[in-house]
Amino acid sequence: MTDTKIALVTGANKGIGKEIVRQLLAAGVTAIVGARDPERGAAAAEELGTTSVVLDVTDEASVEAAAKTVEQRYGRLDILMNNAGVALDWGHRPSELSADVVREIYETNVFGVIRVTNAFLPLLRKSARPRIVNTSSSLASLTLHQDTSSHQSKVLLLGYNSSKSALNAVSVSYANDLREEGITVNVFEPGYCSTDLNDHQGRLDPAEGAAVGVAVALAPGEGGTAQFHAEGGFLPW
């Protein structure tokens, strides 16, 4: 056991997740790269000067094995950042998208988060101040989608958008369940970052998006719970 905070970031071999690990390390946190591909994970960890764990959020055995590894190495987890995500529906209007593609997106963006959260809860319960931070999107916001003048209402990604709305709902459910135990659960919108997920169309550097989530993870004091964070404030559900 160590006094240094222990954090795990899923989908951290590239993009926003990798920058989250970099910033957590810079803040003195022992941050672990979670990656589904062992070589990509190890390469990112080596570049960042930390360790990696193989973790495919869609694979129960892989997630269980990752939890065992973290338990053996550190005995607990202080910060879980569910960051792994996919967008497989670019270029397909909602009315043209098959349920199978939507299911595949949900498998990572929604069920993956539930699977990882459940597997790591026993380790989070051993932390003095456990926090779960999930990477959401402004595209999750039904309030913004309802406003036809909004940018979000023009982004017609049935699978991705609704998976992030579901992720928000899932996160609030966990927050309400775990509130009395002192485990906080929040989501954040990183902003439109240039990553593989959007073929590098985003205008922000992934480090800028990562900083929003890191601020939530390291917020002083109790921090809040069941909150939808964005740069400079909160987003409407």
Q: Does 213 bind ligand NAP (CB under 6 A)?
A: no
Q: Does 105 bind ligand NAP (CB under 6 A)?
A: no
* Backbone dihedral angles phi then psi of residue 33, each to the nearest 5 degrees: -80, 115
**CB of 129 vs ligand NAP, minimal distance in Å:** 24
Q: Does 23 bind ligand NAP (CB under 6 A)?
A: no
State the amino acid at position 122 in one-letter form.
P
**CB of 16 vs ligand NAP, minimal distance in Å:** 4
Given the residues 5, 74, 164, 174, the one annotated as active site: 164
Given the residues 14, 160, 174, 192, the one annotated as active site: 160
| Alpha-helical segments (H) within 125-181 | 142-146, 158-178
Q: Does residue 68 have an active-site annotation?
A: no
Instruction: By CB under 6 A, name the one of 83, 152, 168, 225 that touches ligand NAP.
Output: 83
Nearest to 204 by CA among 192, 217, 222, 221: 192
Q: Give the CA distances from residue 58 to residues 34, 77, 94, 221, in Å, rounded to whole numbers and listed in that order.
A: 13, 21, 24, 33
DSSP 125: T
Dihedral sign, Cα of residue 144, residue 148, residue 153, residue 154: negative
Q: Does residue 174 have an active-site annotation?
A: no
Asked if 174 and 227 count as a contact pair (C-beta separation under 8 A), the reply is no
Q: Does 198 bind ligand NAP (CB under 6 A)?
A: yes
Q: Does 17 bind ligand NAP (CB under 6 A)?
A: yes
Q: Does 47 bind ligand NAP (CB under 6 A)?
A: no
Catalytic site positions: 160, 164
Task: List interacting residues with ligand NAP (CB under 6 A).
Answer: 10-11, 13-17, 36-37, 40, 55-58, 83-86, 108, 112, 135, 137, 189-190, 192-193, 195-198, 202, 206
